Amino acid sequence: MSKETRQFETEVQQLMNLIVNSLYSNEEIFLRELISNASDAIDKLRFEAQTHTELLEGEGELHIRIAPDSETKTLVISDNGIGMTRDEVVENLGTIAKSGTAAFMKAMEESKKGDAIAPELIGQFGVGFYSAFIVADKVTVETRKAGEGEAVRWESDGLGSYTLETCAKKEHGTTITLQLKAEGLEEDFTEEWAIKRVVKQHSDFVAYPVIMNVEKTEPLPDEEIIKDADGKPIGETTKKVRADETLNSMKAIWATPKSEVTDEEYDEFYRHISHDWNSPLDKIHMKFEGTTEYDALLYVPSKAPMDMYYSEKKTGIHLYCKRVFIMDDCTELMPEYLGFIKGVVDASDLNLNVSREILQQNRLVRNIRKNLVKKVLELFSKMEKETYAGFFDEFGPAIKSGIPMDHDNRDKLAKLIRYKTTKSDGAYVSLEEYVAGMKEDQEFIYYITGEDLVSLAGSPHLEALKAKDYEVLLMSDPVDEWVVQSLPEFDGKKLKSAEMGDLDLTEVDDDTKEAFKNFMEYLQKQLDEEIKEVKLSSRLKDSVSCLSGDALGMSAYMEKIMKASGQEMPKQKRVLELNGDHPLVVAVKSLFEKDAGNPVLPDHAQLLYDLAIISEGGRVEDPALFSKRVGELMAKAL
């Protein structure tokens, strides 16, 4: 097929523009990414070959080869892995079919400091191949899919287009040739010592040999050594030769005793499997022996990945069987809410040909999952308070989401969740700490949900609770709405919303109710389309009015979340509560009693309702009219 020129997808062009015109603070990261991709390709071939042995085509050792050339300023990275078809080349190298692309590019822009981009971003969004353009003016890819006859050549300068054509390639696999930039690079990546250093630092734990033909010094054969009369060498005793050298240890770190693994090795292996430039926060390295045997090395990241809440993101658990790769996205081994955990599980009793369907029904896998979750939750519970607070800042919403998802571990998760409160001065409080600090006469664990902590802390719904010196949990994550539905009580204390139902803290006496009866009926008639009921409040101490819901109804925040997700919601009528002691309410009531037909009364009724909406951070339907009414009221008062 003749050479064909194509344009990159729009997202890739934008991505290329960012990468080509920016530099990592560490340029060398490109080599780690390309070696990692090559390792993945061999993993896939090895897995497919379990059932299709012909794909190996009589191959010897599966490997990755690096070939630098200082004269031509090229660097070649090749593998004899699965390879790609023409369609796969277009899909993988011409398109980024991920919903997180926009977020990735935004994150790159925001992370730029001068000319540097945070190196962890490439790996997190699965676009590591494009890091080649950090060091290369041109990239050529030649690849042939195992079991296929046709090979394809892809080539681009990263400036918006690429070419495709068929080519001859004897072996299956992929060969990437980088035409390195002539100037501007901090390091010469054709130097053997530079390549050795990068591979040792970033790719030492890759499971396949990373080979490079290097110059070595070898002793000369005895017969070639020139000697004096006494038999002592008087000439060269060594010679320079070139030979293949394996640059990485291929150490299966998860199967190595903990005492033989250094902290540096743990950290580098984490970076290898996670593509995260940061060091992990903590780790679990365990060997389980008994009816089932397996090795596990799990890591807790220190920072939440940029794509953590994208539905297409992969989990971080790599599954092996007797050190043979099975899959890198084993959702069966870790629940979704712990999907940020990275690591490796090597189970010796698994079938090498295992499929996802078999995994889902496999008793061994279910047992491993149960033990892993138990160990992870134990690790969280044993963290120092300050360390856990930092962890919860990053992963709190994920931990909370486990409460409605994981019934078996609900009690453990309830002890792990944290909230800021009306008394905590910005610090996190556990439910155990909250219960321990409850007043003697306090019956419930009080909470309020909403969009931001500042509005929640100042909500009029809390005035009576604050007056009794009761602490209130401030819940500002959307997932909190599902938490309180799934966690009706903790340590024998029921959770109670500060805005739903009656608080039953104080009683409005019958004489007051009778005195306000006619006025309340009037307001109900005026606002009937907006509210379910109007009543005197037991919540309010300083504010004019507020809106509350039924004890079993939907909170205002939940309604907002559902609408934002595109779900059509029936109009939720709520209760308008008035502070009968507030001067404004007293004045409007007095005006009503003097002249029930006064034309300003409907405006005042609407104003009392609008003030309730604004007090909880809501938006009134007609802001201009609201402003006009307030202005007129102020003018008369002055």
What pLDDT is stored for residue 472 in this prediction? 97
- Residue 21 confidence class, pLDDT cut points 50, 70, 90: low
What pLDDT is stored for residue 348 in this prediction? 79
Does 174 appear as a known binding residue? Answer: yes
Tens digit of pLDDT for each residue in 565-591? 777 777 788 999 999 999 999 999 999
Q: Who's near 632: CB < 8 A, 6+ residues apart?
A: none
Is the alpha carbon torsion for 627, 613, 576, 571 positive or negative? positive
Does 98 appear as a known binding residue? Answer: yes
Tens digit of pLDDT for each residue in 208-237? 999 999 888 888 888 888 888 778 888 788
Does 353 appear as a known binding residue? Answer: no
What pLDDT is stored for residue 19 in this prediction? 61
Which residue has 């734990």 as its token pair?
205
When the pLDDT of each residue in the chain is averaged and rounded to a whole number, the result is: 86
What pLDDT is stored for residue 99 in this prediction? 37
Q: How far apart are CA 493 and CA 481, in angstroms?
A: 18
3-class secondary-structure state, position 186: coil
Supply the DSSP symbol for 500.
Answer: B
Tens digit of pLDDT for each residue in 288-332? 887 778 999 999 999 988 777 766 666 679 888 777 677 777 888
Does 469 appear as a known binding residue? Answer: no
CA nearest to 28, candidates 135, 108, 129: 135
AA identity, residue 329: D
Helix (H) or strand (E) run with residue 557 in it: helix 556-564
Does 92 appear as a known binding residue? Answer: yes
Cα→Cα distances 366→177, 333, 361, 404, Å: 44, 7, 8, 20
Are domains 253-381 and 399-497 of this chain identical in fold?
Answer: no
Q: Which spans in 180-250 are helix H?
A: 192-202
Q: According to the CATH classification, is domain 12-109+117-221+233-246 in 3.20.10.10?
A: no
Cα→Cα distances 281→263, 265, 267, 633, Å: 12, 15, 10, 58
Tens digit of pLDDT for each residue in 530-542? 999 999 998 999 9
What pLDDT is stored for residue 183 in this prediction? 87
| Phi, psi dihedrals of residue 178, rounded to the nearest 5° | -105, 125
Does 258 appear as a known binding residue? Answer: no
8-22, 39-53, 501-515: range with lowest mean pLDDT? 8-22
**571 near 578, Cβ under 8 Å?**
no
What pLDDT is stored for residue 15 in this prediction? 67
Highest averaged pLDDT of the listed ranges 39-53, 157-171, 311-325:
157-171
3-state helix, strand, coil in the chain (%, to 5): 40, 20, 40
- For residue 22 the two structure tokens come to 């920016």
Half-sphere exposure of 148 (CA within 13 A, CB side): 22
Domain 253-381, CATH: 3.30.230.80
Question: For residue 79, is pLDDT > 70?
Answer: yes
Domain boundaries, the chain: 12-109+117-221+233-246, 253-381, 399-497, 510-637
**Strands of 342-347's sheet in order across:** 282-288, 294-300, 342-347, 316-321, 324-327
CA nearest to 315, candidates 295, 299, 287, 334: 334
Please name the fold of domain 399-497. Answer: Rossmann fold (3.40.50)
Question: For residue 127, is pLDDT > 70?
Answer: no
Does 363 appear as a known binding residue? Answer: no
Q: What is the mean pLDDT of residues 547-562?
A: 84
Q: What is the mean pLDDT of residues 130-144?
A: 92
Cα→Cα distances 300→65, 209, 341, 410, 587, Å: 32, 28, 5, 20, 60
Question: For residue 425, is pLDDT > 60?
Answer: yes
Q: How far apart are CA 33 and CA 280, in angstroms?
A: 19
What pLDDT is stored for residue 534 in this prediction? 95
CA nearest to 38, candidates 91, 82, 68, 74: 82
- For residue 132 the two structure tokens come to 């080649």
* pTM, to two decimals: 0.72
Architecture of domain 510-637: Up-down Bundle (1.20)
Tens digit of pLDDT for each residue in 362-401? 788 888 999 999 999 999 999 999 999 999 999 999 999 9
**187 near 194, Cβ under 8 Å?**
yes
Does 79 appear as a known binding residue? Answer: yes
CA nearest to 41, candidates 173, 177, 140: 173
What pLDDT is stored for residue 97 in this prediction? 38
| Length in residues, the chain | 638
**308 near 340, Cβ under 8 Å?**
yes
Q: How far apart are CA 312 and CA 289, in angstroms?
A: 34
Does 593 appear as a known binding residue? Answer: no
522-526, 529-533, 558-562: range with lowest mean pLDDT? 558-562
CA nearest to 186, candidates 24, 39, 303, 300: 24
Tens digit of pLDDT for each residue in 84-125? 999 999 888 866 534 344 555 565 555 554 444 444 444 444
Which residue has 């934008």 as its token pair?
14
